[in-house]
Structure 1
Amino acid sequence: MKKRIAVYPGSFDPLHNGHQDLIERSLELFDEVVVAVLRNEAKEPLFTSEERVEMIREQMAPFPNCRVERFSGLLVDFVERVGGCCVLRGLRAVSDFEYEFQMALMNKRLNPRVETLFMAPKEDFTYVSSRTVKEVFFLGG
């Protein structure tokens, strides 16, 4: 039987508890989850993509069926390259849905074999975002 591999893409600058929760819950649904760290030259991240990959690898070390890789370019090409069948996306609020839905439709058009799975966060993590984590950190919280 073919392994069910899901890809969870993002900038993860930084990875926070909401991301980790989604990864851990998705590991119960898939044989393997690939955390795909986006290398986006248009953004100025707090951490380099290499640093983010290393931090996430350390954090996810207890989970042997989770691997972490950098990527750039089309997400569906990366999903195909790693043998994935599904893109995981977290939805914290209705406001996330419109953008994520448009991306899912475009990905489906580019590669009909790639599905998108939207996952709601646990209630404790609905307010958490990387931007908020960085703002609180820089304000001394």
Structure 2
Amino acid sequence: MADNENSSFKNLDEGLAKLESVVKQLEDNSLSIDDAIGRYTEGMRLAVECRRSLNQLTQHVTEVRREAMQSIDQLNAMEGQVQSQIAAQTSEPAANGQMNAAQMNAAPMEAMPTDSAPMGEEPRSNNNFGEPSQPNFGNGSDDDIPF
């Protein structure tokens, strides 16, 4: 991620790999003094470039994190406003005397209507599947069946 033109690597990982290679060559003790000084100079240049690249990456991560925290703060504020609006809606009775959706969600099941029959009529079903009730023929034994 080194941005300047003098950089000898494309990203920090590549720069660190080159620096590690230079260090291993210096630790081998197989280089002449002149070669060792040249490799040392190259290693120090790579170390400076890696530090510069690391600083740029750190600055970028810090900026991204700051922006993300601002977005989270804005979302939390919006969520608080929505929660306040929902709370205000649930405390107000509906103008037409019927429950609004938030009140229905908050109402206990006993308060909810259990059948769909119009007022004054009996429900069409006494089971939970909406199917018509079966007529009651006698005492429930098989003796009443004509076949």
TM bin (shorter chain): under 0.3
TM-score, normalised by the number of residues in structure 2: 0.20
Structure with greater Cα Rg: 2
User: Which of 1 and 2 has higher RCO (CA within 8 Å, sep 6+)?
Assistant: 1
Q: Which has the higher strand share?
A: 1
TM-score, normalised by the number of residues in structure 1: 0.21
